[in-house]
Chain A
Amino acid sequence: MSYYIEKKEKALNEILDRNDQLSYNIKNLESPSRLERILVSKNINITFPRKGHVLKMAKPVIVYRAQDIRQVGLERKVNIFGFLDFFVSRAEAQAKE
């Protein structure tokens, strides 16, 4: 049992160490100075976007007006044949509209 636990623990540590090393290698490859050196050596001229090149979109604000809510409520009430939906699929009903 002890040898089994030890074997499993060793395997786990091996995997964790390997994961650490691979993460480190990725970090190394992503290093800004390294990437920049490669770009320069390949004559690829990349610059940060200038002031006017970046447009920040404001998050859309959804406003529910009381009028709209009432209208939705009315539509629901008007649909007196709603029980017939039971006979047709919803997709078909939308296609007919």
Chain B
Amino acid sequence: MAVFVFFIVSLSILVLRLLYIQVIRYGFYKSIADNQHNVSVEIPSKRGTIFDRNMRVLAVNLNIDSVFANCRVIKNKRLAAASLSKALKIDQDKIYRKLELDKSFVWLKRKITLEESDAVKKLKIEGIDMVKESERSYPDKSLACHVIGTVDIDNNGLEGLELYYDKYLKGESGWVVSTQDAKRKILESYQYEFIPPKNGFNIVLSIDEVIQSIAERELALAFEKFHAKAASIIVMDPRTGDVLAMANFPNYDLNDFKGRSQESIRNRAINDFFEPGSVFKIVTASAALEEKAVSLTDKFDCENGEWRIGRRTLHDHTPHGIMTFKEIIEKSSNIGTVKAAAKFGQNIMYKYIKLFGFYDKTGIDLPGEVAGMNRPVARWSGVSMYAIPMGQEVTTTAIQLACAIAVIADNGYIVRPRIVKQITDPAGRVIKDFPVIVPRRVISTDTVLKMRSVLKGVVETGTGKKAKLEDYTAGGKTGTAQKVENGVYSPDHFVGSFIGFAPVEKPVIAVVVSIDSPHPIYFGGDVAAPVFKNVVNDTLRYLNSR
């Protein structure tokens, strides 16, 4: 009887307890269970790919395996360390030290290769597992590093196009609300809500991988040969403003984020301005010819290389006597150029500097472009017209010079440089097109033809003979500018540059080469003109063979 009563009482207590849990505390326990079973998981979007103009991949996101260990589960740690050492190519003791830790999660090696991943999978060691990690990868390593830029660990753009077009490349994460089992595995058939991720758009550049490679190869050779502090090159299609190549030295490997220095990350072609020196004479000569202030056959006395004006003395690097205006530009006479500029005056000079775009940013779609520091004509000094016509007291960036030489290469029109041609969705449909923008005409066709013959003369018989091509004709202008250091012109440090185009009859490329502080040789015609020659030779041959 006592046993029967005991069972009845126990059963009653049990029923009451069940009633309490199932009915009275229903809401409380349901919420705990829901919190354990139902999860919302973020599905990250895939960052868009960056292609060159021929749809060759320049930047892509990869899901790469990373190996970790749950040390508490591994039974034979010595044996595991020995096997993993071979598979991951890491020192055995180093792995063993990690496995000995009393932790349930220890990274062994992150972002491993496919071969390493296969080797680890074959081992089938309990407690060793892999997770996928998304990584931005750049197959060409340092190629066009300053144009492409980099991303941070969370795939946010930091520099270059990765930063400028971050909102297009990034995409939007998706979400899934689902039920998970006791081992925290998502049960696919119990998904309550699914918002798919929107992958980032792809970007198609105007850069040509092959031309970029040619430009970087030649610039690297000059950079090392002349022990330069820095160097930049831009190769542009003057008809469309397409930047076919843009490179700077020093540069860095896009896949090695930690290995870069402050010096190597600057896109000097658009971030740095400098006094252009004699390459700026293309502006003076264009102004003189367009305004009909001088003709190509007008003669000027170049004072045998030394001309005193008030307290200032102008020098030519080679003494010249009487020369025609064409010869003055070909031989790059400072004295002759200043005398020619005096024929039209400072207002006209200012007008053409502005028309050639040296007072404004070019509008290239890259972050951090500067416009240089050029004073308005009202603030020019009494001696400005003895300096500006030959490229002193003005500053330019390499991209501004590229646009300026493109004016002569493109029948007198200035064109806005573009580095991105299209933005496409992951299926390849065009989302945004970047049309060719031609803001204004700068000089007439007549002046263009005259300027082309002058600049051809520079390469054929003038200071730019080292830019002469083997198969094609070229025109260009050399420049050797003293650098300004502590407010005065440095006697030792120069910027050697060359700007030009080819072929002269129907230009298809315009190139700017600038080499900062080359030594012991520093003349633009010696350090930058050969780079122009080699780059243009190979680029035209490449374009011709396509």
Residues of A within 8 A of B (CB): 1-3, 5-6, 9, 13, 17-18, 20-25, 27-28, 31-33, 36, 47-52, 54
Contact = CB atoms under 8 A, between A and B. Distances in A.
Contacts of B185: 3, 6
B114 A22 contact: yes
A47 B544 CA distance: 13
B60 interface: yes
A21 B470 contact: no
A33 B76 CA distance: 46
Interface in B86-122: 114
Contact of B472 (A9, A13, A18, A51): A51
Most chain A C-beta atoms within 10 Å of own C-beta, residue among B56, B64, B210, B545:
B545
B541 A50 contact: yes
A25 to B, nearest CB: 8
A66 to B, nearest CB: 39
A72 to B, nearest CB: 40
B441 interface: no
Given A17-B62, A48-B538, A50-B470, A5 B56 contact: no
Contacts of B545: 48-49, 54
B176 to A, nearest CB: 12
Interface string B48-73: 00000000110010111000000000
Contacts of A24: 57, 60, 62, 137, 139
Nearest to A48: B541
Interface string B129-140: 000100001011
B186 A6 contact: yes
Contacts of A13: 63, 132
B217 A18 contact: no
B217 A33 contact: yes
Report, as a range, how many residues of chain B touch the other chain: 20 to 34
Contacts of B34: none
A48 B542 contact: yes
Contacts of A25: 114
B375 interface: no
Interface of B: 56-57, 60, 62-64, 114, 132, 137, 139-143, 185-190, 209-210, 213, 216-217, 470-472, 538, 540-542, 544-545
Given A6-B186, A22-B114, A51-B544, 18 more contacts: A2-B187, A6-B187, A9-B188, A13-B63, A20-B62, A24-B57, A24-B60, A25-B114, A27-B56, A32-B209, A32-B210, A33-B142, A47-B541, A48-B542, A49-B544, A50-B470, A50-B541, A51-B540
B189 A2 contact: yes
A7 B189 CA distance: 13
Given A18-B114, A21-B114, A48-B545, A33 B143 contact: yes
Given A5-B188, A6-B185, A18-B114, A49 B140 contact: no
Among A18, A27, A33, A47, chain B packs the most CB atoms within 10 A around the CB of A33
Nearest to B214: A32
The list of the 6 closest CB pairs from A to B, nearest first, reads: A48-B541, A51-B471, A32-B213, A2-B187, A5-B188, A27-B139
A36 B538 CA distance: 13
Q: Is the interface of A mostly helix, strand, loop or mixed?
A: helix
B64 A21 contact: yes
B63 A1 contact: no
Given A22-B114, A24-B137, A2 B190 contact: yes
Nearest to A4: B188
A26 to B, nearest CB: 9
Nearest to B471: A51
A49 B537 CA distance: 10
B252 to A, nearest CB: 14
A22 B114 CA distance: 8
Contacts of A54: 544-545
A48 B471 CA distance: 12
Contacts of B472: 51
Contacts of B132: 13, 17
19 contacts: A1-B188, A2-B188, A2-B189, A17-B64, A21-B64, A23-B57, A25-B114, A27-B139, A28-B139, A31-B140, A32-B210, A33-B143, A36-B213, A36-B217, A48-B538, A48-B542, A50-B471, A51-B472, A51-B540
Contacts of B216: 33
B60 A31 contact: no
Contacts of A23: 57
B541 A51 contact: yes
B60 A20 contact: yes
Contacts of B56: 27
Given A3-B185, A33-B217, A54-B545, A20 B63 contact: yes
Contacts of A22: 114
Given A17-B62, A50-B541, A54-B545, A27 B57 contact: yes
A23 B133 CA distance: 18
A22 B31 CA distance: 46
Contacts of A17: 62-64, 132
Nearest to B189: A2
